[in-house]
Amino acid sequence: MELKLDNLKLVDQLLINSISHMEILSNFSQIEIETPVDKIINQIKNLISTGQLKSGDRLPPERKLCEKLGVGRTQLRDAIKKLEFYGILKTLPQSGTVVAGMGITALEGLISDVLRLEVTDFKSLVETRVILETKSASLAAERRSEADLREIEKAMKTHKQKVKDGNHAVEEDLMFHLKIADASKNSVLTSLMLIITPDILSYFKQHDVCGEGRYLAAAEEHERMFELIKDQNVQEVALLMEAHLYDIQKFAETRIERYNIRQTPKIKS
């Protein structure tokens, strides 16, 4: 009888230890290993932030850059594509790839620093994104051209296909939202989104905020959003965009709550 009780106690203790380990494990996150593309991006951004590359400067030819960096052409092209995507570089016909406006680049760096400082600033950025994107959606519905619709639809289909293939589609999601911003015909609004959105979505990708089910739901919402913009339904698309970003708001609020709990000193009894 005593042996049986000892065995039960042992099982209970093992279960408690297992639960405790799971709780501790949930506090860890996967380590992101920097790829050659990321290293190229960081090197170019550092050259810009230190003033070694200035607004309007043209990058060396692709072949020479590949030789200097010790990378393949595909990796270099992917890095340049991402930097163009974030508004840091731009490719001009017959001029090659040049550094874009320094104002946006400097602000983007500032936003990255803010994200590293305080979790509460992250919540502020999320709130700002909701405001910007809600307005950009309504302006896009009002001002969009046929060319804008083609670009939005293309981005929407690219995002949906990647989701269907079972892959993360953070950058494709961002591209869809930026195409809507482009259709708003408000360059300042688009620039502000270029500053804020990439860092927020990068944070989401790192912490896997949106599960597989949410990715599928987002793809469906993108389709409804596209139809509303196409039909120039200004009010409905603004409401849908706000609802679409609801999960981001809730996640930010949850992060703040956890942060506050960790910072609250325990009262000794």
Query: Considering all CA atoms of the chain, what is the largest pairwise distance in Å, rounded to the nearest integer?
Result: 88
d(CA 110, CA 104): 10
**Cα–Cα separations (whole angstroms), residue 139 to 60, 179, 242, 254:** 39, 12, 14, 31
Region 196-212: mean pLDDT is 64
- Report angle CA 250, 158, 203 to the nearest 5 degrees: 35
Q: What residues are paired with 69 via a beta bridge? A: none
pLDDT value at residue 120: 47
Q: Collect all residues with Cβ–Cβ distance below 8 Å to 181 and sequence separation of at least 6.
A: 132, 133, 136, 140, 189, 190, 193
Q: Collect all residues with Cβ–Cβ distance below 8 Å to 28 and sequence separation of at least 6.
A: none
**Cα–Cα separations (whole angstroms), residue 239 to 184, 187, 243:** 16, 22, 6
Q: Are 41 and 48 in contact (CB under 8 A)?
A: no
pLDDT value at residue 112: 53
How far from chain centre, in Å, is Cα 133? 14
User: What are the domain boundaries of the chain?
Assistant: 36-100, 118-261
261 token code pair: 């709990």
Q: Collect all residues with Cβ–Cβ distance below 8 Å to 143 and sequence separation of at least 6.
A: 183, 184, 185
Identify each DSSP E strand in the chain by its residue range: 89-92, 96-99
* Predicted confidence (pLDDT) per residue in 239-264, tens digit: 999 998 887 677 656 655 655 545 44
d(CA 135, CA 145): 17
Q: Please tell me which residue, 87 or 104, carries the higher pLDDT value.
A: 87
Q: What residues are paired with 97 via a beta bridge? A: 91
* Predicted confidence (pLDDT) per residue in 148-191, tens digit: 999 999 999 999 998 888 887 877 888 899 899 999 999 888 88
pLDDT value at residue 185: 94
* Predicted confidence (pLDDT) per residue in 211-242, tens digit: 556 678 889 999 999 999 999 999 999 999 99
pLDDT value at residue 114: 44
Q: Are 57 and 65 in contact (CB under 8 A)?
A: no
* Predicted confidence (pLDDT) per residue in 36-77, tens digit: 888 888 888 888 777 788 888 899 999 999 999 999 998 898
Helices marked H in the chain: 2-25, 36-49, 62-69, 73-85, 102-117, 119-143, 146-164, 170-183, 187-207, 212-230, 234-244, 246-263
pLDDT value at residue 212: 57
Q: For the domain with range 36-100, which CATH number is right: 3.40.50.2300, 3.40.190.80, 2.60.40.10, 1.10.10.10?
A: 1.10.10.10
Give residue 10's identity as a one-letter amino acid code: L
The total of other beta-carbon atoms located within 10 Å of residue 130's CB is: 18
CATH superfamily of 118-261: GntR ligand-binding domain-like (1.20.120.530)
Report which DSSP code applies to 90: E
Q: Are 182 and 87 in contact (CB under 8 A)?
A: no
Region 83-91: mean pLDDT is 77
* Predicted confidence (pLDDT) per residue in 88-141, tens digit: 788 887 778 988 764 444 445 544 554 454 444 667 777 888 899 999 999 999
Coil vs helix vs strand at 196: helix
